[in-house]
Structure 1
Amino acid sequence: MTTISSRDFNQDVGRAKRLARQEPVFITDRGRPSHVLMSFEAFRQISGQTENIVDLLAMPDNEIDLDAPPADAGWDRTEAMDDGEN
């Protein structure tokens, strides 16, 4: 268990973040624990969260066509084939 004072945390946040990759870091205020810093992966594990559609859409490799026609416009296969050839 790593413990750092709030003053040390404020002076070197990067160090605290590096420590939190290994294990939760307890941050004290006037000698008493006040906060816990942990990696997002550790938080997801203890909270039971799994990937959801928002996480998947936020991934940098996903591209979304915002100019897509409305859902009720139908789909023309010949038009879709023409678009793919250009």
Structure 2
Amino acid sequence: MKVFSSRDFNQDVSQAKRVARLEPVFVTDRGRPTHVLMSIEAYRQLSGQTETLVDLLAMPGLGEIDFDAARPGETWDRRELS
């Protein structure tokens, strides 16, 4: 657990975010803890949440999907479904 004063936190938010990837960061105001900064993974694990479809679709590094290439030669006509 790492502790940042409010002043230190405000002066170097990037450092606090880097530390929060590894462990929770407590932010204090006049020596008393007031906030906790943690990675989204740690929060999800703590709260029991799982990734949403939006999170999965927003994953970096995924290329665009060519749906036409996935079904070569197939055509789709919605009138066929009626």
TM-score by length of 2: 0.71
Measure how far apart 1:43 and its partner are. 0.6
Q: What is the match of residue 41 of structure 2? A: 41
CA distance in 2 between counterparts of 1:75 and 1:3 reads 63
Letter in 1 for 2:53: I
CA distance in 2 between counterparts of 1:16 and 1:33 reads 15
Measure how far apart 1:63 and its partner are. 4.0
Measure how far apart 1:18 and its partner are. 1.1
**Higher helix residue share:** 1
Q: Which runs of 5+ in 1 are unaligned?
A: 66-72, 77-86
Q: What is the match of residue 74 of structure 1? A: 78
CA distance in 2 between counterparts of 1:54 and 1:32 reads 37
Q: What is the match of residue 21 of structure 1? A: 21
Letter in 1 for 2:27: I
Percent of matched pairs sharing the same residue: 71
CA distance in 2 between counterparts of 1:4 and 1:46 reads 22
